[in-house]
Amino acid sequence: MKKSDATREAILEAALRLFRKRGFEKTTMRDVAKSADVAAGAAYYYFPSKDAIVLAYYARTQDAHAELARAGMKRARTLDGRLRAVLHAKIDSMARDRKLLSALFRSIGDPASELSIFSAKTRRVRDESIALFDEALAPEELPPDLKRVLALSFWSLSMGLVLFFIHDTSPKQRKTRLLVDRAVDLLAPMMPMAAMMAPMGTSVLEVLREVGLTP
Amino acid sequence: MKKSDATREAILEAALRLFRKRGFEKTTMRDVAKSADVAAGAAYYYFPSKDAIVLAYYARTQDAHAELARAGMKRARTLDGRLRAVLHAKIDSMARDRKLLSALFRSIGDPASELSIFSAKTRRVRDESIALFDEALAPEELPPDLKRVLALSFWSLSMGLVLFFIHDTSPKQRKTRLLVDRAVDLLAPMMPMAAMMAPMGTSVLEVLREVGLTP
DNA sequence: CCGGGTTTTTGAACGTGTTCAAAATGGAGT
DNA sequence: ACTCCATTTTGAACACGTTCAAAAACCCGG
């Protein structure tokens, strides 16, 4: 059991190192195996596919994100601050990894793929991410249904930001940071207004349920 | 010139026929070539890659969509009706093609790819699609900056709907239709309200420009 | 230590997207 | 009709993700 875990870890680390340096597409599974000092097939004993390695990375990063985000939220007194904490923490936790995140979206349009960010297999990570937005919204005086819809919306926003982040070639990805700040500037003050639309929040939730976007 | 076009067309048609029947992933380039009665390499003389075939399809479909949408808008008197026309026309124009659209999103996370729906190569299609939403909004009394932002937002919405459509296994993709209708029900009545937020529309546009999401 | 089962590791082989040098075809000018 | 060049077509070869049968390493009860 012990040795096996070490091999798995070695393969994962080697893969991430190469993905970061050369990018996901330019790195070969044979490169990864060689760099981890195992045979090509060994990687497939531990990971079902090349994309799955990125998914393993993403699951691990999600935990780092959660920790960072919660630490940031503790210090914040306002919704504005908490949203900023969660979103910036997300970018922080992936700061070095722009080059490998592209793989995360490769299967987004394939309903059959288990690696899609919408699939059952990725559910844990997805739910944990949504939970962070739930927590950011928790202290607000808002109807629960509305909160639920808002948390889902913020999760979508965060996935969009990751996509933007991947494409962001500005130095230190400053543009992504700017976008996060501006988005929060814009959205946070709207939340009290949104409270007036409580019945709307409920009806949105009904549609989402009817349509299967939320259980 | 004549013969060459015919070959290109034969390859495209063969590819689409197989993609529709068996799905994109399960169809081999060798299958496509054989079905079009050419050698494997010929397909690559006309299309730079397998994904590029889907892009060629998408460009063609965009024209069909534009035509359908404009016909539908002519009959509509209200914003509500025009939005419904554009969005339903989009789904109509791709109704048979759920199985091949998955390829459209495969490169969305790869900044280097020319086939990404964000790339310069796909600009024409993107702009034409956004133009339709501009037209839907045109008769409204709204500040131009706000209209611009709204058109972009509706385009994003439409791409999200395509994604939902791909994953929608309900009979005849009824859920997608429902989602379109509900989204319009919700959003159309908000537009007059949005007018009050004109200055906000401008500032959003400034951010989008600053960040490079719009020229 | 041994034998038998389980886990891990290996590396060759396969399928598929893609490349490419060479062959076939087409056409324009003489 | 012939030459010469550009366009089109071919099919073998390549690269890379992935599979798999067999070998190796490991574990444990006797």
Q: How far apart are CA B153 and CA B147, in angstroms?
A: 10
Q: What is the pLDDT of residues B43-69, one digit of tens each?
A: 999 999 999 999 999 999 999 999 999
Q: In angstroms, what is the C-alpha Rg of chain A?
A: 19
- B33 vs chain A: nearest CA distance in angstroms? 24
pLDDT on residue B215: 79
Stretch A136-145: mean pLDDT: 92
Q: Which of residues 160-189 of B touch A (CB under 8 A)?
A: 163-164, 166-167, 169, 175, 178-179, 182, 186
Give the separation between CA B49 and CA B29, rounded to whole angstroms: 9
Q: Is B5 exposed, middle or buried (0-12, 13-18, 19+ CB in 10 A)?
A: exposed
Chain B residues closer than 8 Å to A166 by CB: 109, 111
Alpha-carbon span A167 to A99, nearest angstrom: 10
Q: pLDDT tens digit string along B2-34?
A: 678 899 999 999 999 999 999 999 999 999 999
* Residues of B in Cβ contact (< 8 Å) with A25: 110, 112
Measuring CA to CA, how many Å separate A44 from each of A8, A32, B146? 10, 11, 51
- Residue A104 predicted with pLDDT over 80: yes
What pLDDT is stored for residue B1 in this prediction? 58
> Mean pLDDT for chain A?
94
Q: Which of B55, B158, B60 is closest to B113 using CA atoms? A: B55
C-alpha to C-alpha distances, A142 to A86, A114, A192, A202, nearest whole angstrom: 19, 35, 8, 12
Place of tokens 């034969």: B10
User: Tokens representing B162?
Assistant: 């395509």
- Contact across the interface for A186 and B204, Cβ inside 8 Å: yes
Q: Find the distance separating the first CA and the last CA of chain B, reported in whole Å.
A: 37
pLDDT, residue B196, reads 78
Share of chain B above pLDDT 70, in %: 99
User: A27-53, pLDDT tens digit by residue?
Assistant: 999 999 999 999 999 999 999 999 999
Q: What is the pTM of this model?
A: 0.94
pLDDT band at B83 (very low <50, low <70, confident <90, very high): very high
Let me know: does A28 contact A55? Beta carbons within 8 Å. Answer: no
Mention every residue, 6+ apart, whose C-beta is less than 8 A from residue A105. Answer: A117, A163, A166, B105, B108, B109
pLDDT at position B172 over 70: yes
- At CA B154, angle to CA B148 and CA B160, rounded to 5? 145
If you count them, how many residues does chain B have? 215
Each residue of B177-209: pLDDT tens digit?
A: 999 999 999 999 988 887 777 777 778 888 999
Rounded to the nearest 10 degrees, the angle between the axes of helix A174-187 and helix B198-211 is 170
* Average pLDDT value for residue range A143-150: 90
pLDDT above 70: residue B111 = yes
Query: Cβ–Cβ contacts within 10 Å for residue A156, how many?
Result: 12
3-class DSSP assignment, residue B40: helix
